[in-house]
Structures are given as structure tokens and as C-alpha cells.
Structure 1
Amino acid sequence: MIKVLIVDDDFMVAKVHAGFIQRTAGFTVVGAAHTGAQAVVETQRLQPDLVLLDIHLPDINGLDLMHQLREVAPELDVLVISAAREVETVRKALRGGIVHYLIKPFSQADLQERLDHYRSAYHGLDSSKDVAEQSDVNRVFGLDSATAQRPLPKGCSVETLRLVEGALKAADGDLSAAEVAEQLGTSRVSARRYLEYLHDEGLLEVRLKYGVGRPERRYLPKA
């Protein structure tokens, strides 16, 4: 479970964001802070994995606070959530090593998308293996979209690839090529071509289901 600390001067906003996070699988809110001084104390005490950090705090600029937080929790990751839109502010945040910058106001889906990426890319990279593949690094830097991968197989399209990925994410478990084909109205051969492509890119794992005849290949997104 990924532990999250929310740092926001607005009590109600922090509560809303906590609700968003608690509804995202794999994350738990361990606390909230409403000033920079309180954030340092809570970060040292709770040792969260991720801080959702507002920039406009009553006693310090959030970007300056970020360095103090990492002094008490060196492995801390930071996701900025702020109404600040100045380009220089965004640049400074990026130079500070944030995992993402989300401009207020935003929806639960907006935050969940960033949290899902963090879980699968940043957090997953720490524990998945000793040596990173290029596909692992690509995911950390947001280059895991179809346009950043190797060219699609002949006859395949980016639009259909996204539909296949969506079907897998929405599924309650693993899916076979036949099941994906039925959902999308494509042929089994076509569905399997997309699934094998995603598997080759390191985005899916394959489970074999044994029965009569050849084992069935079933596909599941990597955590």
C-alpha cells in the first residue's frame, strides 16, 4: 500500500483530495498537514511514500518546502497539486524532481490517472527488479503510450490499441484474446495481435490456462 500525506492549507480541499485517494486502489492517506511546519513534522513522523503538495501555503512556498521534506524523508516522492499556473513555477517544480504537476481544480479521474501512473511506473520500478529495461524507464518518463513504443504491427491502429488497453483495465481479472475480440467486435486473430504487442512491450503478463488441447493464453496488465 502506498502511503500518502496531503499538504494543503485548505482543510476542506484536503478532505476532498483524501476522499479521491482513498477510492484509488493501492493508496492510503496516512495524514494531512496545513502548513509547511506541520508538513515537516508529519513527514518525519509518518514517512509517507508520496506527498500531494500545494504550493501556496501560509508559512512557506511549497517548492521551497519540498527540499525540507526530503531532508527528513530522502526517498519521498512529490506530486504538486496547485492553482499556480506560472510557467516558471512549473519549471521550478520539474527541476525539483516532482512526479507530476496537477493544476486545480481537477476531477477525481484526473488525480486517479496520475496516481495510477505513479503506482505502475515510479513505485513499481523500485520493487519489480534489480535491473531496469528500457520499457520500465519509458513508463517512468511517461513514454509508454502507443506513439512512444515501437511501431504497431501492420494493419493495427492506435485507436484500437487504446480500446484493447481499456478493456484490460476495466476487466475484473485476466482476459483471453477471444474475450477481448467479443467485447470490441474484432476478430480473435486481430485481438491477439494487439495483446501480444502489449506483452512484448512489457505492459502485460501472460497466464496459461490448461484444459483440453493447447493451453489458453490469458492476459493481465502488469501492476
Structure 2
Amino acid sequence: MIEVLLVDDDALTLELHRTYLERLDGFHVAAECTGARAAVAAVLERADRIDLVLLDVTMPDGTGLDVLRHIRARGADVDVIAITGVRDAEVVRQMVSLGVSQYLVKPFPFAMFSERMNQYREYRQRAREAAGTPTQSEIDALLGAFRPTMAAPLPKGLSGDTLERVTADLRAHEPVSAGESAQRLGMSRVAARRYLEHLVAAGRAVRAPRYGTPGRPESEYRWQA
């Protein structure tokens, strides 16, 4: 389980991010803070229990930059993703120089939040797999885990919410056929195939023939990270 510290001075934003995280597998909100000083204290006191900080930049008693400078100076190597409405290029540069993994600009839809959190989860998994003396390909994959992907535009008739459901089903049960996904999600086989083919077109899934099944040839789909 990835333990997350939420830092934002707005209570509604904290609630929103908590709700978003509760919809994702593998994440748990360890603590919440509404100020910079509290965030520094929380990180330093729970250094062995916090894996990730979702950090606001602008707060009444300091900035996200202040938080990062303090915790890095004290040797805390916790992962940090900035979540803020600040769009200043110099702030972005300084945040990155202090070890921010990603910079997510508010407001954003759940789909974008989910993608970035899944990228982070993949990064941690790849980091564990590449422990020791990783190969060049493992290093490239690790560095590429945070690289944002460009989503293909949804064709007419496809729903973003349904696409999220199909994507989650694919990732949980791969390899899947359109029929299997349709049965689990309560939709038609034709509709499930449209969503799966969209993921293939977007480079997020791969299609291959499924051998050894009776009747006409069937395709199966696998998630492509």
C-alpha cells in the first residue's frame, strides 16, 4: 500500500483528493495537512510511513517550495507530486530541481489524476524490479514511467466514464476478450470491443489472436504500460 500525505490549505480540495485516492487501488491517505509547517512536521515525524506527498504550492504559512527545501535539507527522500493552481515557469523549475516527480495543475478531471497516480504506482513497481544493477532498458523504463501520455480523442459515441471502467477491467484481468469484459461490465460485446480497440489505437493496449478456443477466431487484449 502506498501511504500518501495530502497537503492543501483548502478543505474542499483535501476532501476531493481524498475521494479520488479512495477510488484507486493501492493508495491510502496516511495524513492530511493544511499548512506548510504542518507538512514539514508530518514528513519528518513519519519519514518511514509516508511514501508520497501530494503538495500544494501556495499556503498561508509558507509555500510548497519552503516545504521541499526543509525536508530535503533534513534528508527526507519522500516522493512528491505538486498539485497546484500556480503556473509560473520558474516555480515549476525550482520544484523540479527539488525533486518533484510531477506537476499537476488544478483544476483537473479524475481521469488525469488517475493516470498520474497510476504512473507513480508503476514507477515504484519498476524501481523495485530494477533494484541492484539494472540494465539500460530497465533504467529507461524507470525514467519513462512518469512520462505523460497523450490520450487519443474519444470517438463519437464513447464515454469517458465507461472507458475508465473498461481500462480498469483490462488491467485487472488481462488478457481479456471483448466478450469477457462485456460480461463483467454488463455491456454488449460490440461496445466492449469498441472501447478496447480505442485503447489499442491510443497505444495503451495491444491486440493478439487467442488460440485454442473453439468456434471463430477471437482476439484478446493486454494492457501496455
TM-score when scaled to structure 2?
A: 0.66
Alpha carbons of 1:59 and 1:209: their partners in 2 closer, same or farther (altered >3 Å)? farther
Q: What letter corresponds to residue 184 of structure 1 in structure 2?
A: R
1:169 CA displacement: 4.7
1:129 CA displacement: 2.9
> Quick one: distance in 1 between partners of 2:99 and 2:69?
10
1:170 maps to what in 2?
169
1:15 is aligned to 2:24: no
SS of residue in 2 equivalent to 1:32? strand
1:31 is aligned to 2:31: yes
Alpha carbons of 1:176 and 1:31: their partners in 2 closer, same or farther (altered >3 Å)? closer
Q: What letter corresponds to residue 145 of structure 2 in structure 1?
A: V
1:128 CA displacement: 1.5
Aligned length in residues = 190
* Contact 1:55 1:81 (8 Å CA) reproduced: yes
C-alpha RMSD of the superposition: 3.8
> Quick one: distance in 2 between partners of 1:176 and 1:20?
26
> Quick one: distance in 1 between partners of 2:30 and 2:65?
21
* Contact 1:169 1:221 (8 Å CA) reproduced: no
> Quick one: distance in 2 between partners of 1:42 and 1:11?
17
1:1-223 correspondence to structure 2 within 5 Å: 1-47=1-47, 48-72=50-74, 74-120=76-122, 122-130=123-131, 131-132=134-135, 133-134=137-138, 135-142=140-147, 169-171=168-170, 172-175=172-175, 183-184=192-193, 220-221=222-223
1:177 CA displacement: 6.9
Listed one character per residue, the Cα deviations across residues 25-72 of structure 1 (whole Å, up to 9, x for unaligned) are 111100011111111111123331110111111111211211212345
Q: Which runs of 5+ in 1 are unaligned?
A: 147-158, 160-164, 186-190
* Contact 1:63 1:93 (8 Å CA) reproduced: yes
Q: What letter corresponds to residue 43 of structure 2 in structure 1?
A: T
Listed one character per residue, the Cα deviations across residues 111-146 of structure 1 (whole Å, up to 9, x for unaligned) are 1111011111x2123211331425513523517779
SS of residue in 1 equivalent to 2:127? helix
> Quick one: distance in 2 between partners of 1:209 and 1:73?
53
Listed one character per residue, the Cα deviations across residues 159-203 of structure 1 (whole Å, up to 9, x for unaligned) are 9xxxxx986653240225786997537xxxxx9xx7xx99xxxx9
* Contact 2:7 2:33 (8 Å CA) reproduced: yes
Q: Percent identity?
A: 28
Q: Which runs of 5+ in 2 are unaligned?
A: 156-162, 182-188
